[in-house]
């Protein structure tokens, strides 16, 4: 099976789901190189203490977390990853990727893989997906080698601009993206 990169960014409420998906990738035989944004790597939240989360990720993946730009840039050459999923992908990371801003470990790893024609899957989780970030979603949907886990509004009454992906479709989306296919439908009802 393939060695893949998994970038983990904020949207801390979804990190329990991230751990579950990491386990499922491992069960399917994937080898995972985990990459955490600096925010995830350094900060305790009401959901996890940073050290507890990092230990859990490293235990599941049997690999040290990469968390610096220097480490992340070598993701395709040194670590030989064949694709990447950013899980969850916050608006901050997505917007940086859409606008060529590579100042975090996760986004720089994605850039490193994109320049070598590898697929990048975005598992969107954003409170402003239908407002400030919508333009960048459109940019990335049409960009070569960028694929989205199907997404939709998670609470259109209380959070009308919020979008979140169907995390349960992460692996299926990733496997299609490895064949250069976008899973359909991309928009959830």
pLDDT single digits (tens) 118-170: 999 999 999 888 998 999 999 999 999 999 999 999 888 999 999 999 999 99
More confident residue, 38 or 1: 38
The answer to whether residue 186 sits within a structural domain is no
Q: Is 184 among the domain residues? A: no
Residue 158: give the domain boundaries: 3-178
Residue 183 lies in a domain: no
8-67 tens-digit pLDDT:
999 999 999 999 999 999 999 999 999 999 999 999 999 999 999 999 999 999 999 999
For the chain, the domain total comes to 1
CA nearest neighbour of 10 among 101, 88, 98: 88
| Cβ–Cβ under 8 Å, residues 114 and 86 | no
In the predicted structure, residue 188 carries a pLDDT above the cut 80: yes
Residue 99, CA distances (Å) to 95, 107, 121, 160 in order? 6, 11, 17, 25
Strands (E), 37-139: 83-89, 119-126
CATH number of the structural domain spanning residue 143:
3.40.50.1950
């Amino acid at each position: 099976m393939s060695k893949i990169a998994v970038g983990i960014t904020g949207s801390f409420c979804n990190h329990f789901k991230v751990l579950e998906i990491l386990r499922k990738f491992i069960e399917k035989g994937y080898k995972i190189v985990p990459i955490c944004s600096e925010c995830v790597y350094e900060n305790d939240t009401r959901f996890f203490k940073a050290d507890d989360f990092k230990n859990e990720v490293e235990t599941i993946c049997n690999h040290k977390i990469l968390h610096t730009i220097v480490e992340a840039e070598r993701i395709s050459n040194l670590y030989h990853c064949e694709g990447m999923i950013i899980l969850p992908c916050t608006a901050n990371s997505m917007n940086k990727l859409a606008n060529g801003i590579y100042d975090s470990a996760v986004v720089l790893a994605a850039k490193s893989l994109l320049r070598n024609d590898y697929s990048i899957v975005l598992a969107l989780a954003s409170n402003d997906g239908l407002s400030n970030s919508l333009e960048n979603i459109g940019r990335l949907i049409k960009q070569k080698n960028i694929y989205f886990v199907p997404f939709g509004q998670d609470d259109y009454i209380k959070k009308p601009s919020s979008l979140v992906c169907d995390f349960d479709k992460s692996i299926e989306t990733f496997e299609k993206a490895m064949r250069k296919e976008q899973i359909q439908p991309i928009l959830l009802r």
